[in-house]
Structure 1
């Protein structure tokens, strides 16, 4: 077996699936706030677009994707972020963002070069690290700090490290904390990456779930050495469709598109046509955000009432919550789990480096607002009883 695989712990969401299966066997009602897979239905017009596009004869899709989809994404990006992208040379449709993020280092990391370091902040989406390890790169996790607003501060990283860095991953709005980055942050981060010839990879899968000001894209602040990753999973309730896109620096996109033919990840044509209909419409996005805001506001009121500290979520459907003072997060989360409330403990978002060095500790846990509003109300009643048991 590949030694890289052997060194990794189970993917966090798989561990949550095991826990949920155990609860189900015990007959405990499950309120699943653990995995970021919303329960709101995929809009009817998107499902119809897919059904109508299923062909009598199905043939291989191309890595470049449908031109009308790329044209639509280009128009959407211009309307949303004010950035013009050439649909033929700066956009690649992908089978969701996860595979595109995972495969990216396989193309751009050369294990024989000195410049093979990949920087990302923790807590983090595990795929930034895992893609790097499979590619033979050097992972460089940086612990994100509450006092920095959970922003990955490249200005605080040693020059010698930056000189060895090939890729920097940023993710704002952030999973798991929900942190949002201001324009000044993107300006500085883009500038530093360009100065050190680093590819800035910006995972922007949550830019369309927001409750106040609209989040930024890194491409608003520069194209050179910048690549962004977008997805319809959260924006349009299409997690099972696996549809997204990669966009940015023309030279990087050209090379990535060429090499992606080796991975067999081209999006099926009927999925692309469903995606085309989704990118054309904003009304369903506004409606989904209204629902997520309603759930967010419900939880904020509850958390305030029981005195728990949390990072105020301006975007995403996540709430990053600190365990009560004097109570280890593991104990608090365990009590919630035993009563059917599934959440993700902060340690699930540590890197393997932190785990190996026994530096994986967190006072926080993540709640994903994916159950229905009524389920959220039921869960709050259960949670309140669990919380009182610690007083």
Structure 2
């Protein structure tokens, strides 16, 4: 369709900074076009663990770090490495659409742990305890969260850790949005619990490098060893050009005091305020996102399902959003709107959505 404004795509609208692109170009010109070690370039792995220490106080070892083809490959490798047929993984809902299929691909069973707007979409000890069975192997902890924009504080994370430890669960911490928080710094559930946490991160969101497909996983040595075996037989290694770009991203941001990351966060924060205010002025309940770059307004008052709302909005007003139901059963009644778009597009989109609602 022509003239559609998309608020559906989960990627930064910023272009990868020039110095990062130039590093990849230079690697090609210098003839660095061969395979790397399966686990990735040691310089990149060392910089990644130094970054995690500096920014989030995490203690991981470069030897037990695996460079992957995006954070998505790291998730896939993790599920395939830990699951036997029928093993269960707790998956918060709403959350990223790939968790449940990823568990199923590995012949595991995803078990939804519902989170709710009135609880700020966080995991609670009670909700986790109710979902655990003798087959539960791991829990995904994806904060800042896609699609809700929810974060978890140190106190909230500390509250769920006793339940996780009691049942000896592996934590799979997907922290791809860790740099994109508003009002407070991200805290990691892995801090102090690195021995039971597979930490997944990458370059797509914070460094505007979605197309480079570069991520990494840090964790207990036996798990990283097993993930590496699967990785070397299925992917071999991440692109050397992407890895060279990742090295430049980490080096340049550290040397500049993370200025480019800070610039993006400041810009997203302005857009975030505009989107939240816009939905609330329409009369819709709108949870205030504290991380990532998504807004998750409640559209149940319109009488439409999430899919009906998004389909009609697309055809009548040419605005593309994602039905909340795509992210789990408890996402029904919501829509996900990305504010990783220009201010002009956001203003026009809010205007058209208001017209759509007023015309019901």
The TM-score, its normalising length taken from structure 1, stands at: 0.85
Higher alpha-carbon deviation: 361-370 or 381-390: 381-390
Once the 2 structures are TM-superposed, how far is the Cα of residue 373 of structure 1 from its aligned partner?
1.6
Q: CA RMSD in A?
A: 2.0
Once the 2 structures are TM-superposed, how far is the Cα of residue 379 of structure 1 from its aligned partner?
2.0
Q: Is the Cα–Cα contact under 8 Å of residues 323 and 364 in structure 1 kept in the other structure? A: yes
Identify the residue that residue 260 of structure 2 maps to in structure 1: 284
State the alpha-carbon separation in 2 of the partners of residues 162 and 145 from structure 1.
22
State the alpha-carbon separation in 2 of the partners of residues 217 and 167 from structure 1.
17
Q: Is the Cα–Cα contact under 8 Å of residues 27 and 33 in structure 2 kept in the other structure? A: no
Structure 1 residue 143 corresponds to structure 2 residue 120: no
Identify the residue that residue 105 of structure 1 maps to in structure 2: 79
Q: Is the Cα–Cα contact under 8 Å of residues 173 and 204 in structure 1 kept in the other structure? A: yes
Q: Is the Cα–Cα contact under 8 Å of residues 333 and 343 in structure 1 kept in the other structure? A: yes
Structure 1 residue 307 corresponds to structure 2 residue 283: yes
Aligned residue runs from structure 1 range 76-225, under 5 A: 76-89=51-64, 91-111=65-85, 116-158=87-129, 161-225=132-196
Q: Is the Cα–Cα contact under 8 Å of residues 190 and 226 in structure 1 kept in the other structure? A: no
Higher alpha-carbon deviation: 188-197 or 209-218: 188-197
Aligned residue runs from structure 1 range 236-251, under 5 A: 236-251=207-222
Once the 2 structures are TM-superposed, how far is the Cα of residue 323 of structure 1 from its aligned partner?
0.7
Secondary structure, in 3 states, of the residue corresponding to 2:79? helix
Structure 1 residues 163 and 253: CA distance shift in structure 2, 3 A: same
Identify the residue that residue 310 of structure 2 maps to in structure 1: 333
State the alpha-carbon separation in 1 of the partners of residues 106 and 296 from structure 2.
31
Structure 1 residues 159 and 109: CA distance shift in structure 2, 3 A: same
Q: Is the Cα–Cα contact under 8 Å of residues 14 and 208 in structure 2 kept in the other structure? A: yes
Once the 2 structures are TM-superposed, how far is the Cα of residue 36 of structure 1 from its aligned partner?
0.5
Identify the residue that residue 36 of structure 2 maps to in structure 1: 61
State the alpha-carbon separation in 2 of the partners of residues 156 and 81 from structure 1.
27
Gaps of 5+ in 2: none
Once the 2 structures are TM-superposed, how far is the Cα of residue 287 of structure 1 from its aligned partner?
0.8
Q: Is the Cα–Cα contact under 8 Å of residues 60 and 219 in structure 2 kept in the other structure? A: yes
Structure 1 residue 36 corresponds to structure 2 residue 6: no
State the alpha-carbon separation in 2 of the partners of residues 106 and 83 from structure 1.
25
Q: Is the Cα–Cα contact under 8 Å of residues 52 and 59 in structure 2 kept in the other structure? A: yes
State the alpha-carbon separation in 2 of the partners of residues 261 and 305 from structure 1.
52
Once the 2 structures are TM-superposed, how far is the Cα of residue 98 of structure 1 from its aligned partner?
0.8
Aligned residue runs from structure 1 range 299-378, under 5 A: 299-323=275-299, 325-328=301-304, 329-338=306-315, 339-350=317-328, 362-378=332-348
Once the 2 structures are TM-superposed, how far is the Cα of residue 290 of structure 1 from its aligned partner?
1.3
State the alpha-carbon separation in 2 of the partners of residues 265 and 132 from structure 1.
22
Secondary structure, in 3 states, of the residue corresponding to 1:386? helix
Secondary structure, in 3 states, of the residue corresponding to 1:286? helix
Count how many residue pairs are aligned between Structure 1 and Structure 2: 352
Q: Cα deviation per residue 1:246-269 (whole Å; 9 max; x = unaligned)?
A: 112233223322332122152111
Q: Cα deviation per residue 1:37-64 (whole Å; 9 max; x = unaligned)?
A: 2221111111111111125362222221
Structure 1 residues 269 and 153: CA distance shift in structure 2, 3 A: same
Secondary structure, in 3 states, of the residue corresponding to 2:218? strand
Once the 2 structures are TM-superposed, how far is the Cα of residue 210 of structure 1 from its aligned partner?
1.3
The TM-score, its normalising length taken from structure 2, stands at: 0.91
Q: Is the Cα–Cα contact under 8 Å of residues 7 and 321 in structure 2 kept in the other structure? A: yes
Q: Is the Cα–Cα contact under 8 Å of residues 125 and 349 in structure 1 kept in the other structure? A: yes
Identify the residue that residue 244 of structure 2 maps to in structure 1: 273
Once the 2 structures are TM-superposed, how far is the Cα of residue 187 of structure 1 from its aligned partner?
2.2
Secondary structure, in 3 states, of the residue corresponding to 2:346? helix
Secondary structure, in 3 states, of the residue corresponding to 2:191? helix
State the alpha-carbon separation in 1 of the partners of residues 195 and 136 from structure 2.
16
Identify the residue that residue 7 of structure 1 maps to in structure 2: none
State the alpha-carbon separation in 2 of the partners of residues 71 and 283 from structure 1.
21
Once the 2 structures are TM-superposed, how far is the Cα of residue 107 of structure 1 from its aligned partner?
1.2
Q: Is the Cα–Cα contact under 8 Å of residues 40 and 372 in structure 1 kept in the other structure? A: no
Structure 1 residues 236 and 57: CA distance shift in structure 2, 3 A: closer
